[in-house]
């Protein structure tokens, strides 16, 4: 069985989403995919479509670029949720000029009260160089703080690099061991 909250971290194109999907599918008969991406351009639309096609038809997809709490409140205990991804969700709030601390607190509360286990995918953005502009530095700081809060609340934290999982906290579910 999946823990109540799992955080899957990794860099861009690290395989974190595919690994998280496999984790959820290994445990759930009724998987829910909370999608946070917004298609601002053709490249992002193509990426979203590739993700949809690779998932197949076994997922119930909910588009939630900003409002995750209501979506998490609608989930039943017999489901499992993949939230992909916290990074795009945070970006959406940053660009909308919302209070990031308040939004993060609301997300953590919603994750805590969700009836089903949740696997959150998030990017690790702290390995690169210091960004050259204030908005990027603010995002990098906010993402690092969000990841730390998610990791503190999570029962299982996994870093994925080159498609391979590294357990940082907790124990892998029996179905994946």
d(CA 52, CA 174): 28
Q: Which of 122, 146, 172 is nearest to 10 (CA)?
A: 122
d(CA 96, CA 110): 20
Which residues are tagged catalytic? 51
Nearest to 146 by CA among 98, 64, 71, 89: 89
């Amino acid at each position: 069985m999946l823990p109540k909250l799992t955080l899957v971290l990794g860099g861009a194109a690290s395989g974190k989403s595919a690994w998280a999907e496999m984790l959820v599918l290994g445990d759930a008969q009724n998987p829910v995919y909370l999608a946070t991406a917004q298609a601002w351009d053709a490249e992002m639309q193509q990426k979203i479509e590739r993700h949809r096609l690779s998932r197949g038809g076994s997922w119930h997809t909910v588009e939630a670029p900003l409002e995750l709490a209501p979506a998490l409140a609608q989930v039943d205990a017999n489901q499992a949720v993949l939230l992909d991804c916290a990074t795009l969700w945070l970006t959406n709030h940053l660009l909308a000029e919302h209070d990031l601390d308040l939004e993060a607190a609301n997300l953590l509360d919603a994750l805590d009260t969700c009836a089903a286990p949740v696997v959150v995918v998030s990017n690790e953005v702290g390995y690169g160089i210091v960004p050259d502009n204030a908005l990027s530095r603010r995002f990098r700081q906010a993402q690092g703080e969000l990841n730390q809060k998610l990791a503190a609340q999570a029962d299982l934290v996994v870093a994925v690099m080159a498609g391979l999982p590294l357990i940082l906290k907790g124990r892998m579910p029996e179905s994946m061991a």
